[in-house]
C-alpha cells in the first residue's frame, strides 16, 4: 500500500499570529478576498489552523489564520491551540504579528513578541483597528517591541493593507511563488485527467470527524477533544493519496437547533452546511456504538435535499466486540428508518486502529465518478421505454398517464426531467419505481436522484 501524504505545495506560507481578539481573522479574510474565517467579538473563535491560497500584486502564497496566543493555557483545547500556532510559525516563511492599536502594549503582546524573536522568522508588524488619522499615530508606540517598522492598518475598513502586504511580499522568495511554465503545464494536464475531489466530512458533534482527518494525515492537523463543538469552522485540507488530489473539508458538528446556545455555533453550522453544498462527496459519520439518531437522519436528509453524493460511515469500530452482529443491527436499523438511502455505500472505520481509513477513498472515487455520470437523451428515452414495458404508468378515472420523453438536466445535483401529459396522474410510488429502475440499470451509487415532472403543452 503506497504511503499517504499531504499534497505538497510550492507556495510559501504566511502566518498571521497575535493574542486573541486583535483582528487576525478579519485580516485573513481581507488578504484572501473572501469571507472564509468566522469573525466574532467573542475571544477564542479561531482554534484550528485555517489555510487558504492568496495572491497580491503578482505574488502567490498561502496564508494561515491561527488561534490567539495566550500566556497560560487553562484547558486542553487552549493548549492544543498554542501547539497549532507554534506549528504555523515553524512552517511559515513570513509572520504577520497583529496587535490592537486601540490598546496599549500588553504583557501577552510582549510574550508573543519574544516567541517570534526566538523563532528567527521574518516578522511584519500590523497595528490593527487604526481607523482614522488620529488613531494612526498610535503605531509609533510599537517600535518599542524591536521588530521593525509597524504598519498602521484597519482590516475592517481596508486601510493600510496594501502597504502591509507590500512589506510581506518583499520577504517572500521569488522562486517559491513563481513556478516554471513547464511544471504548470504538467500540473494542469494532471489536474484535467484527475480532477480534485472535494470531500466534506459531516456529522453530529464528537463522532470522530477531526480524529479521522488527523489519522489520515498522521498529525494533529485539527484539534481533537472530548468536548463537543471543538471544531468551529470548516477547514480545507489538501490531501494526496495514490497520485490523486483531494480536498478534505473538516466541519463543525451539526447539532439540533434546540441545542445551539452560543451565537458562534450558528456560524459553525452555516459553514458546515455550505461545505455540503460545495462538496463532490460527503462522508456522513455516525457512531457505531450508538446507532442512528434523529439528528443523523436530519443530516442525511440535508445531503439528500442538496443532491450531494454521500457515503455512510460508522466510526469507533474498535469499541465493538461482536462486529458481525453489530453490523447487521446497524444496517437493519438504517434500512428500517431510512429505506430511501439504500443506494448509499456503507463502511465501518476506526480512527484509533486505522481500520479501513484509506479504503474510504476507493468508495469516494467510485461515488464521485457516479455523481458526474450523464446519460444521453436518446439512451435515456430507450431506458424509459424499457421501464414502461415493465410497468406502464397507472391511469386515474379513465385518464392515462403518459411519459412523452425525458432528459437529464444536470449533474451535481443529478436531475432528470420527465415531460408528461398530466403531472397529477403520476403517483409518487411510480416515480420511486422509475428511480429504482434507473439505479438498477445505470448505477448512480451514492448519488441522490431528483426526478421532476413537467407537463408538455402540445399545439392543437
**What are the boundaries of each domain within the chain?**
13-177, 181-371, 377-455
Rounded to a whole number of angstroms, the CA Rg of the chain reads: 26
Q: Using pLDDT thresholds of 50, 70 and 90, give the confidence band for residue 180.
A: very low
Does the structure show a pLDDT above 60 at 190? Answer: no
In this structure, what C-alpha cell is assigned to residue 374?
450523464
Closest C-alpha to 108, from 168, 179, 190, 22: 22
Q: Is the pTM of this model over 0.75?
A: no
Q: Do domains 181-371 and 377-455 have the same CATH topology?
A: no
pLDDT of residue 376: 93
Q: Using pLDDT thresholds of 50, 70 and 90, give the confidence band for residue 44.
A: very low
Is residue 99 helix, strand or coil?
A: strand
pLDDT of residue 435: 92
Q: What span, in angstroms and rounded, lies between the C-alpha atoms of 230 and 46?
A: 10
| Ramachandran angles phi, psi of 228, nearest 5° | -60, 145
pLDDT of residue 21: 83
Does the structure show a pLDDT above 80 at 309? Answer: yes
- What are 352-381's pLDDT values in tens digits? 999 999 999 999 999 999 999 999 999 999
- What are 130-164's pLDDT values in tens digits? 888 788 888 888 898 888 899 999 988 888 999 99
Q: What span, in angstroms and rounded, lies between the C-alpha atoms of 5 and 245?
A: 10
The arithmetic mean of pLDDT across residues 92-110, rounded, is: 90
> Which has the higher per-residue pLDDT, 48 or 128?
128
What is the percent of the chain with per-residue pLDDT over 90, rounded to a whole number? 40
CB atoms within 10 A of CB 324: 8
Residue ranges of alpha helices (H) inside 355-457 are 360-371, 377-390, 428-442
The CATH architecture to which 377-455 belongs is: 2-Layer Sandwich (3.30)
pLDDT of residue 227: 44
> Which has the higher per-residue pLDDT, 326 or 52?
326
CATH for 181-371 is 3.40.50.300
Q: Which of 242-246, 253-257, 274-278, 396-400 has the lowest mean pLDDT?
A: 253-257
Does the structure show a pLDDT above 90 at 195? Answer: no
- What are 407-438's pLDDT values in tens digits? 999 999 999 999 988 888 888 888 899 999 99
Contact 282, 309 (CB under 8 A): yes
pLDDT of residue 394: 74
CATH homologous superfamily of 13-177: P-loop containing nucleotide triphosphate hydrolases (3.40.50.300)
Does the structure show a pLDDT above 90 at 177? Answer: no
- What are 215-253's pLDDT values in tens digits? 898 876 554 444 444 444 567 788 889 889 999 988 877
Contact 173, 93 (CB under 8 A): yes
Does the structure show a pLDDT above 60 at 8? Answer: no
Q: Which of 69-78, 185-194, 208-217, 411-420 has the lowest mean pLDDT?
A: 185-194
Closest C-alpha to 17, from 98, 114, 128, 109: 98
Amino acid at each position: 500500500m503506497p504511503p499517504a501524504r499531504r499534497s505538497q505545495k510550492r507556495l510559501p506560507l504566511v502566518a498571521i499570529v497575535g493574542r486573541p481578539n486583535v483582528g487576525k481573522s478579519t485580516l485573513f479574510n481581507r488578504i484572501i478576498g473572501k469571507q472564509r474565517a468566522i469573525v466574532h467579538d467573542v475571544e477564542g473563535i479561531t482554534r484550528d489552523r485555517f489555510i487558504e491560497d492568496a495572491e497580491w500584486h503578482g505574488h502567490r502564497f498561502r496564508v494561515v489564520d491561527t488561534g490567539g496566543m495566550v500566556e497560560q493555557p487553562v484547558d486542553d483545547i487552549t493548549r492544543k491551540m498554542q501547539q497549532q500556532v507554534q506549528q504555523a510559525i515553524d512552517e511559515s516563511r513570513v509572520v504577520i504579528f497583529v496587535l490592537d492599536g486601540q490598546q496599549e502594549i500588553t504583557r501577552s503582546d510582549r510574550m508573543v513578541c519574544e516567541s517570534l524573536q526566538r523563532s528567527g522568522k521574518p516578522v511584519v508588524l500590523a497595528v490593527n483597528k487604526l481607523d482614522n488619522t488620529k488613531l494612526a499615530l498610535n503605531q509609533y508606540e510599537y517600535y518599542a517591541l524591536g521588530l521593525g517598522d509597524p504598519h498602521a492598518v484597519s482590516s475592517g475598513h481596508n486601510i493600510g493593507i496594501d502597504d502591509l502586504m507590500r512589506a510581506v511580499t518583499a520577504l517572500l522568495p521569488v522562486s517559491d511563488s513563481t513556478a516554471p511554465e513547464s511544471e504548470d503545464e504538467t500540473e494542469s494536464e494532471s489536474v484535467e485527467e484527475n480532477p480534485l475531489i472535494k470531500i466534506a466530512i459531516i456529522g453530529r458533534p464528537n463522532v470522530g470527524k477531526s480524529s479521522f482527518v488527523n489519522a489520515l494525515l498522521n498529525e494533529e492537523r485539527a484539534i481533537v477533544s472530548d468536548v463537543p463543538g471543538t471544531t468551529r469552522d470548516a477547514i480545507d485540507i489538501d490531501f494526496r493519496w495514490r497520485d490523486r488530489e483531494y480536498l478534505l473539508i473538516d466541519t463543525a458538528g451539526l447539532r439540533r437547533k434546540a441545542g445551539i446556545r452560543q451565537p458562534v455555533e450558528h456560524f459553525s453550522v452555516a459553514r458546515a452546511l455550505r461545505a455540503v453544498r460545495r462538496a463532490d462527496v460527503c462522508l456522513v459519520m455516525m457512531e457505531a456504538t450508538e446507532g442512528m439518531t434523529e439528528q443523523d437522519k436530519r443530516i442525511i436528509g440535508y445531503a439528500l435535499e442538496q443532491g450531494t453524493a454521500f457515503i455512510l460511515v460508522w466510526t469507533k469500530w474498535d469499541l465493538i466486540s461482536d462486529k458481525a452482529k453489530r453490523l447487521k443491527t446497524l444496517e437493519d436499523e438504517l434500512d428500517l428508518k431510512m429505506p430511501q438511502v439504500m443506494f448509499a455505500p456503507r463502511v465501518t472505520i476506526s480512527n484509533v486502529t486505522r481500520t479501513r481509513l484509506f479504503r474510504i477513498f476507493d468508495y469516494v472515487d467510485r461515488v464521485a465518478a457516479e455523481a458526474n455520470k450523464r446519460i444521453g437523451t436518446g439512451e435515456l428515452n430507450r431506458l424509459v421505454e424499457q421501464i414502461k414495458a415493465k410497468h406502464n404508468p397507472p391511469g386515474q378515472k379513465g385518464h392515462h398517464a403518459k411519459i412523452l420523453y425525458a432528459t437529464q438536466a444536470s449533474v451535481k445535483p443529478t436531475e432528470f426531467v420527465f415531460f408528461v401529459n398530466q403531472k397529477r396522474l403520476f403517483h409518487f410510488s411510480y416515480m420511486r419505481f422509475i428511480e429504482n429502475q434507473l439505479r438498477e440499470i445505470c448505477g448512480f451509487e451514492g448519488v441522490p436522484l431528483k426526478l421532476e415532472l413537467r407537463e408538455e403543452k402540445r399545439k392543437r
